[in-house]
Amino acid sequence: MQKISKLGVLTSGGDAPGMNPCIRAVVRTAIYNGISVVGIRQGYKGLIENDMFEMGTRSVSNILNLGGTILKTARCMEFHTVEGREKAYKNLKDHDIDALVVIGGDGTFTGALKFSQQFPDVRVMGIPGTIDNDLYGSTYTLGFDTATNTVIDAIDKIRDTADSHDRLFFIEVMGRDSGAIALRAGIACGAEGILLPEKATAIDELIELLKKGEFNKKSSSIVIVAEGDKSGNIYDLAKKVKQQISNYDIKVTVLGHLQRGGAPSSFDRILGSRLGYAAVNALMSGHTQEMVGLEANVIKTTPIEEALTGHKFKLEDDLLQMVDVLSI
Ligand code: ATP
């Protein structure tokens, strides 16, 4: 097996808290093992535009506690093309880079797989970095825990004002096609309703539920709506409910990008460190076209193809049933 002498690392797609601890772990594990490291700025864009720099152990000092990514991230259409990936390959070869660690979500992994199939001599390892928690092969992705805590913190504050004014709040949270943040935050904040993309919502049922809450003398209600929920625009939804429940003052809050920011939680710092360390070790052992993940507290690798096609978010019916019971 060919020994790796130089490794490139990039972050791509949406940023996620925990990427920095992960970069730090990749850089230090590689250097510890005698492998040079090149940081690639702005994901695949930097790879194509040759925006790279040598990294040392000190270039990742004091970043464990920082949100975002020191390598920056971007979305890059050119990487979708064979020619774009050829340019990227040429730049990697010019820098004598023989392995690549990509930290990102499903789009990033699709790009990594295509690149690796086109140029199999560059070993590629993926690390799941996305707040959406939508990749198969890792129970948790980097950033999910921090983002969920951020959402909980925001909803706690909203609950204070909702309670003071007898208000009903519809709160939209991120997650693309995944309801993972919505479900966890809904449980932690005692939401009266949780609307998820994985489950069709009957508006009548929701209205019934909220009326019951009113009858039971609830002074406020919170309904969490995952951004990928199929019942339509959150403002239209609030209007429809308003027509049937007039007592409540109904408000809508879209939490938006604040969910991506902030210092990574202890969980994401440790997860990032473990996955970064594991990714370099896996590459050194000859693995390629795989993703490192954590399942049942054990680090494992999964072929990228499987990480992309495996069905991640099995709707946790037991959790939803629990929400119905606990929110009476
Ligand atoms: P998040 O889940 O946080 O949005 P992501 O990794 O899914 O992160 P994307 O914007 O979907 O974010 O993908 C990141 C980058 O990966 C794209 O900008 C593009 O450069 C590359 N990429 C995505 N899909 C493909 C594809 N089909 N072929 C080649 N490259 C791709």
CA neighbor of 127 nearest in space, from 111, 114, 108: 108
- Whether 156 sits among the annotated catalytic residues: the reply is no
- Expressed in angstroms and rounded, the spacing between residue 75 Cα and the centre of ligand 1 is 6
Using a CB cutoff of 8 Å and minimum separation of 24, what contacts does 216-221 make? 216/328, 218/192, 219/163, 219/166, 220/159, 220/162, 220/163, 220/165, 220/166, 220/167, 220/168, 220/169, 221/162, 221/167, 221/168, 221/169, 221/192, 221/193, 221/248
Residue nearest to atom 24 of ligand 1 (CA): 107
**pLDDT value of residue 200:** 82
- Which residues does ligand 1 sit against, CB inside 6 Å? 12-14, 44, 75-76, 79-80, 104-108, 110-111, 114, 130, 132
User: Average pLDDT by consecutive 10-residue portion of the chain (328 residues)?
Assistant: 93 96 98 98 98 98 98 96 98 98 96 98 97 93 98 95 85 94 95 89 81 71 93 90 84 96 97 98 98 96 94 71 81
Give me ligand 1 centre to Cα 161, in Å: 39
Q: Could you tell me the residue ranges of all domains in the chain?
A: 6-143+264-309, 144-260
Ligand 1 atom nearest residue 105's Cα: 6
Measured between alpha carbons, how far is 94 from 96 in angstroms, rounded to an integer? 6
The one catalytic residue among 51, 132, 134, 268: 132
Choosing from 79, 108, 142 the residue with most ligand 1 atoms within 8 A of its CB, the one to mutate for a pocket test is 108
> Residue 41: how many CA atoms within 13 Å on its side-chain side?
7
pLDDT value at residue 323? 80
Give the pLDDT score at 205: 82
**What is the structure's pLDDT at 65?**
97
What pTM was computed for the model?
0.94
For residues 38 and 97, the answer to whether their CB atoms sit within 8 Å is: yes
Classified by CATH at the fold level, domain 144-260 comes out as Rossmann fold (3.40.50)
- Which amino acid is present at 100? L
302 has which bridge partners? 291
Give 172 Cα–ligand 1 centroid separation in angstroms.
23
Assigned CATH topology for domain 6-143+264-309: Rossmann fold (3.40.50)
